[in-house]
Amino acid sequence: MGELPGPVTEKLQISLKLDSEHPLAPHTPATKYYMALVTGDLRSLEVLTDRYYQDVNLVLEISKNELEWQVKSQASYGLSGLWSLEYKQELTTSLCLTARRGHTACLRHLLHRRADPNLAPGGRGPLHEACLGGHTDCVVLLLEHKADPNLRSNEGLAPLHLCTTQDSLGCAKLLLRHGATVNLATEDGGETALHVAARHCLCDHARLYLRHGARVDTHSAQEETALSILCEQAPSTGEGCLQLCQLLAAHGANINTLDETQRSPLHKACGAANAMLVSFLLQRGADVNAIDYGGASPLCRVLQSAAFKRHLQPHLTVQLLLNHGSRKIWPPAFTKVLNSCASIPEIIEVLFNSYSQIPISEKWAEAVPEEVFQQHQPFYESFFQLAGTVRCLQHLCRSAIRKKFGSKCHCLIPLLPVPKTLHDYLLLEPEGVML
């Protein structure tokens, strides 16, 4: 097994640098000890702790180099940069390494040898690591051995703040059962576990926290509530975010709460082009014309981000806002809308049809790039053919009805005794061409 080490010190140095000058020495006790910890090799770990490392609380100083992408500049196709080999050093413990990887048997062995469950030389303790990995069995063992459920990492995070995946729900339940403080805020951001659940769209976690007394409208350092954070997340494939939004609202969340930039949850949902959340917020009475510190309304927010969220069909959000009484874009600003949203003709159609009549400027054609015009030629040809003409009678009738109904278009138009195709027309459903 190689040479025996000298007397065990408080720190064990392990080098994992894979270069010619510092080759990995696989047969040294230190390397074998490290490999047993990270692979969950209980038999080898028992031998090594008996022969060499009786003090299972010694600090491991792990040196390694990792490839990292170094961003250099913005390129037309994204970010340009290069891969570089970066030297890194980590301080940790045997207990942290096994908890991070969910090796329950090895963890139990170390705890039986009186490993300290609250030792955190690298900034995170074993309980932090177990929660981060969603290793419920490891959390059980650590809590049974008096791990502190409210221990903060060097980043000011408690274990509950690291329950960020669906797999960590069991961990969160155990922490609360053993005295974790549900409303404990992170030191820097001032976020509670409910904020974290909202950021990761974890409805079951949020339900658990609310059941244990989480305050639904606690504000973070940026004046964000859980609802604010939830609404700025990208729409998920399922309905988890919508369910969580409904849950928070049912527990009394303020729909019109404002963060430090005076943005409401509706501003944030519009910026994320999350039509499901936008629809729900509007139904619950969100202020459709709220203005943030930058002077932007929810409609402005969706138009600002639309070009980057084409796959989310941002025109649906634009429709919802207009059908709930959003103020229209100032006509002279339509050139800016074309500059940013020309590649999404559905938005142009919905916005243009929200006016009874608006003159088409010569500058508008200049704002549409040639490749975009070619890609959506049928629409833009019909669009620019309206220059200098009066809109058709059908459109003028639509405008009159919409003006009469105002902010109630969304609920009154579906009640009209006309075919669904006319309902869609009145609700500004895009058709692909302009008439």
Query: pLDDT band at 7, cuts 50/70/90?
Result: very low
- Which residues sit opposite 38 in a β-bridge? none
Name the average pLDDT for the chain: 91
pTM attached to this predicted model: 0.88
pLDDT at 71: 59
pLDDT digits (tens, 9 = 90+) for 316-371: 999 999 999 999 999 999 999 999 999 999 999 999 999 999 999 889 999 999 99
pLDDT at 52: 86
pLDDT at 69: 64
Distances (CA, A) of 85 to 23, 62, 65, 69, 91: 15, 16, 6, 9, 20
- Whether the per-residue pLDDT at 8 is higher than 90: the answer is no
pLDDT at 83: 62
pLDDT digits (tens, 9 = 90+) for 256-283: 999 999 999 999 999 999 999 999 999 9
Residues ≥6 apart with Cβ < 8 Å to 110: 45, 49, 56, 94, 95, 98
- Whether the per-residue pLDDT at 5 is higher than 60: the answer is no
Distances (CA, A) of 260 to 6, 264, 268: 58, 10, 13
Q: Which of 184, 247, 186, 174 is nearest to 216 (CA)?
A: 247
pLDDT digits (tens, 9 = 90+) for 107-144: 999 999 999 999 999 999 999 999 999 999 999 999 99
Check if the beta carbon of residue 251 is closer than 8 Å to that of residue 194.
no
Q: Which of 333, 349, 343 is nearest to 368 (CA)?
A: 343
- Which residues sit opposite 71 in a β-bridge? 81
> What residue spans of 26-168 are helical by DSSP H?
29-39, 42-51, 94-101, 104-112, 126-133, 136-144
pLDDT digits (tens, 9 = 90+) for 379-412: 999 999 999 999 999 999 999 999 999 999 999 9
pLDDT digits (tens, 9 = 90+) for 43-95: 999 999 999 888 999 998 887 766 566 655 554 445 556 666 666 778 999 99
pLDDT at 236: 73
Residue 147 CA to residue 145 CA, distance in Å, equals 6
Q: Which of 435, 266, 269 is nearest to 352 (CA)?
A: 435
